């Protein structure tokens, strides 16, 4: 039986050239798929120091090897590019069923190059790819865009698109499919900069597998393991809508722009309270969890607002940041973010930054277009979401993200800009969950919770060992473990929730072999090595772009200001030993003191092609 390494499509929007290529076997062995293919091709294809919103940047939309199959929770899709927010490697993951459709039409991934002269969209079928005018949908929100394309191409069509925010190059614009987003790092702005409104895929359900009989047997085993798994059953019931109960109780729910680790009156925003507004549930392709819990507002100023969320991060983004506990406002803000196409985490964090500047007098009512940004004011928060997405008034400044906005404002505003490498922090307070915090500091993409989630700190996970969540350099091994494990699972592209449902150790590798026909993929050590290879290549990408140890840092607030936790533990915590942590982390990784992969490490991982790039940087550091 033939190996199944995957095909990819290259579309150059400047020249109109469209090509199809097959992934070579050695690339499939070394990088497997998904995030592995993403960094491999981005590193090889992208010239260094390209301006992220220029014609020279490339945008990769990837499915994983298991996408479109009956494997549970493994049909998510990913975007890799150079981020306009950070200037570093970007990887952002989306849900719904676009990943499956990409596979149905015959591609592992698409590489978008160049820039169209006028707005366009791509239409992919088994017959090929057409570049079409997007004149009629440019300016439309993501709902209207998807409706228009579905009417044109029928119900067997799935779409990934941008909203007005992507068109207006909001630095944290998202790519949206259905109501799920690849939100982080500004991938939607890169798509907008290419004048690309949407990618529509019309296909019937079929995928190529190396060994269908073996695969079907494994998929049945996976379903029976998952069905009984307690973590799965809990996730199916609640999604992430109860995480704020836990993070508030243990004092790591960031409030008032990361001054507090517990929100006052958080009892108003528990999962149980959201449950009262729940109207339905939604999931991704081939996932029985259906963890997207939909909510509708029945009365009051946001009456009629409806979102397929908010999930934990978004609940936080529109409560803890502005010290409001209006569940209705979070639903309205979430709906707007999905419609207009912006990342809820960066949007909420940026609004929280603006509220603190207002409190400190660094932003006035006049600066804020007449809005009062006092804590608790959720009406202004919702207005700001619209202003940011449309770059109206103060929204134009905030659309740049906290790091750039602070630099523009000056007067010490930088002290209140909560980001790592330019990416705004998500909903876990680093001083109370330090393994998670140091993951932010060292993640290739900036402050991402998913990049190496510390289940040890947050949920008391005991694999590979429990953590003391206030320990620092002592937990460097856990940060490495969490990041590498996430990287190889994202070759899948397995949903991060599903990796805790009991099937990964015994079945994931075997499923990869049944799909690809590459025997090495069954070996745990091989997969762990793939994860490490991905991390090192992402690091080499960033080193080539000029990143060093200096950017591996948490915001000043975490290093100098004691955390307040109200009634929870962790009062007074500060990150004391970031330097010691970095020394330890780099040593475990086999990197220099400056955080540059050593030539020995690159050789050991078979990354010989990047050795010369890294050697130049190592010499100059
Ligand atoms: S657990 Fe939720 S996010 Fe993950 S694949 Fe299933 S429905 Fe999608």
Give the whole-number percent of the chain exceeding pLDDT 90: 97
pLDDT tens digits, residue range 273-299? 999 999 999 999 999 999 999 999 999
Mean pLDDT, residues 207-214 taken together: 95
pLDDT of residue 422: 98
pLDDT in tens, 214-273: 999 999 999 999 999 999 999 999 999 999 999 999 999 999 999 999 999 999 999 999
- Which letter, b or e, does each residue of 133-161 get, where b requires 16 or more Cβ atoms within 10 Å of its Cβ? ebeebbebbbbebbebbbeebeeebbbbb
Strand partners, 161: 176, 198
In the structure, what pLDDT confidence band is assigned to residue 495 with cuts at 50, 70 and 90?
A: very high
How remote is the CA of residue 535 from the centroid of ligand 1, in Å? 24
Q: Please state the rounded mean pLDDT for residues 47-52.
A: 96
How big is the CA angle at 616 (ends 485 and 551), to the nearest 5 degrees?
A: 50
Task: Specify burial of residue 69 (Cβ count, 10 A radius: 0-12, 13-18, 19+).
Answer: buried
Long-range residue pairs from 518-527, CB within 8 A, at least 24 positions apart, any chain: 518/3, 518/5, 518/25, 518/28, 518/29, 520/29, 521/29, 521/32, 527/32, 527/488, 527/491
Q: Which residue owns the Cα nearest ligand 1 atom 7?
A: 283
The two structure tokens encoding residue 462: 């005991």
pLDDT of residue 336: 98
| pTM: predicted TM-score of the whole model, two decimal places | 0.97
Tell me how far the alpha carbon of residue 314 lies from the centroid of ligand 1, in angstroms. Answer: 16
616, pLDDT greater than 80: no
Look at residue 615 and tell me whether its pLDDT is greater than 90.
no
Q: Is residue 95 in contact with ligand 1, taking CB distance under 6 Å? A: yes
**List of residues 6+ apart from 151 with CB closer than 8 A:** none
- Cβ of 290 closer than 6 Å to ligand 1, yes or no, is yes
Measured by CA distance, the residue closest to atom 2 of ligand 1 is 291
CB 39 within 8 A of CB 487: no
Is the predicted pLDDT of residue 621 greater than 90, yes or no? no
Q: Is 94 in the pocket of ligand 1 (CB under 6 A)?
A: no
Mean pLDDT of 135-144: 98
Banded pLDDT at 111 (limits 50, 70, 90): very high
**What are the tokens at 76?**
């998510």
* Ligand 1 pocket, residue 6 CB under 6 Å: no
Q: How far apart are CA 292 and CA 329, in angstroms?
A: 18
Cα–Cα separations (whole angstroms), residue 32 to 70, 444, 490: 19, 19, 10
Q: Is 607 in the pocket of ligand 1 (CB under 6 A)?
A: no
417 lines ligand 1 (CB under 6 A): no
Cβ(283) to ligand 1 under 6 A? yes
Contact 194, 166 (CB under 8 A): no
Task: Calculate the CA 220 to chain-centre distance.
Answer: 30
> How far is the centre of ligand 1, averaged over its atoms, from the C-alpha of 355 (Å)?
33
User: Cα 106 to chain center, whole Å?
Assistant: 25
Q: What's the pLDDT score for residue 618?
A: 66
* 291 C-beta closer than 6 A to ligand 1: yes
Which has the minimum average pLDDT: 104-108, 249-253, 495-499, 576-580?
495-499
How far does residue 94's CA lie from ligand 1's centre (Å)?
Answer: 10
Q: SS in 3 state form for 166-219?
A: HHCCCCCECEEECCEEECHHHHHHHHHHCCEEEEEEECCCCCCCCCHHHHHHHH
pLDDT in tens, 385-402: 999 999 999 999 999 999
The encoded tokens of residue 117 equal 């002269």
Closest ligand 1 atom to residue 498 Cα is: 1
Cα 403 from Cα 390, distance rounded (Å): 19
Paired strand residues for 198: 121, 161
Could you give the maximum distance between any two Cα atoms of the chain, in Å? 69
């Amino acid at each position: 039986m033939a190996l199944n390494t995957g095909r990819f499509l290259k579309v150059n929007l400047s020249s109109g050239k469209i090509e199809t290529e097959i992934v070579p076997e050695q690339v499939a062995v070394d990088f497997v798929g998904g995030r592995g293919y993403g960094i491999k091709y981005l590193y090889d294809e992208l010239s260094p120091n390209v301006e992220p919103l220029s014609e020279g940047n490339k945008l990769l939309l990837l499915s994983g090897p298991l996408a479109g199959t009956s494997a549970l929770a493994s049909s998510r899709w990913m975007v890799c590019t150079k981020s306009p927010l950070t200037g570093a490697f970007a990887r952002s993951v989306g849900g719904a069923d676009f990943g499956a459709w990409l596979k149905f039409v015959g591609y592992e991934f698409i590489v978008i190059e160049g820039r169209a002269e006028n707005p366009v969209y791509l239409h992919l079928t088994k017959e090929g790819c057409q570049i079409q005018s997007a004149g009629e949908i440019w300016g439309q929100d993501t709902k209207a865009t998807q409706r228009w394309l579905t009417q044109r191409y029928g119900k067997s069509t799935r779409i990934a698109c941008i909203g007005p925010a992507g068109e207006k190059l909001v630095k944290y614009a998202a790519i949206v499919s259905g109501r799920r987003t690849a939100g982080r790092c500004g991938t939607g702005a890169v798509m907008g900069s290419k004048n690309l409104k949407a990618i529509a895929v019309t296909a019937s359900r079929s995928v190529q597998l190396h060994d269908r009989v073996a695969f079907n047997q494994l998929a049945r085993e996976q379903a029976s393991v998952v069905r009984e798994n307690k973590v799965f059953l809990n996730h199916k019931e609640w999604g992430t809508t109860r995480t704020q109960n836990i993070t508030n109780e243990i004092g790591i729910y960031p409030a008032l722009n990361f001054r507090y680790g517990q929100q006052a009156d958080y009892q108003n925003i528990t999962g149980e309270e959201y449950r009262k507004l729940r109207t339905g549930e939604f999931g991704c392709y081939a996932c029985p969890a259906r963890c997207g819990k939909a909510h509708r507002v029945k009365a009051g100023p946001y009456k009629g607002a409806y979102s397929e969320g908010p999930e934990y991060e978004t609940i936080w983004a529109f409560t803890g940041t502005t010290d409001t506990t209006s569940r209705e406002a979070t639903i309205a803000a979430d709906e707007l973010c999905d419609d207009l196409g912006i990342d809820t985490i960066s949007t909420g964090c940026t609004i929280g930054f603006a509220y603190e500047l207002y409190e400190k007098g660094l932003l006035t009512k006049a600066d804020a277009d007449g809005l009062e940004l006092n804590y608790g004011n959720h009406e202004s928060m919702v207005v700001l979401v619209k202003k940011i997405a449309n770059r109206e008034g103060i929204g134009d400044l905030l659309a740049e993200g906290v790091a750039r906005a602070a630099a523009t404002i000056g007067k010490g505003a930088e002290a209140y800009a909560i980001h790592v490498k330019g990416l705004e922090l998500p909903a876990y307070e680093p001083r109370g969950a330090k393994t998670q915090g140091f993951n932010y500091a060292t993640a290739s993409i900036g402050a991402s919770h998913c990049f190496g989630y510390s289940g040890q700190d947050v949920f008391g996970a005991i694999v590979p060992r429990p953590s003391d969540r206030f320990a620092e350099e002592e937990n460097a091994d856990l940060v490495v473990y969490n990041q590498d494990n996430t990287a190889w699972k994202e070759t899948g592209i397995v949903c991060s929730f599903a990796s805790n449902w009991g099937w990964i150790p015994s079945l994931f590798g075997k499923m990869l072999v049944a799909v690809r026909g590459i025997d090495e993929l069954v070996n745990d050590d091989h997969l762990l090595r793939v994860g490490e290879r991905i991390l090192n290549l992402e690091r080499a990408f960033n080193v080539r772009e000029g990143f060093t140890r200096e950017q591996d840092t948490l915001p000043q607030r975490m290093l100098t200001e004691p955390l307040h936790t109200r009634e929870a533990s962790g009062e007074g915590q500060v990150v004391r030993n970031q330097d010691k942590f970095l020394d330890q982390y780099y040593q475990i990784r086999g990197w220099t003191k400056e955080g540059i992969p050593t030539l020995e490490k690159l050789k050991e991982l078979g990354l010989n092609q990047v050795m010369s790039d890294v050697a130049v940087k190592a010499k100059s550091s």
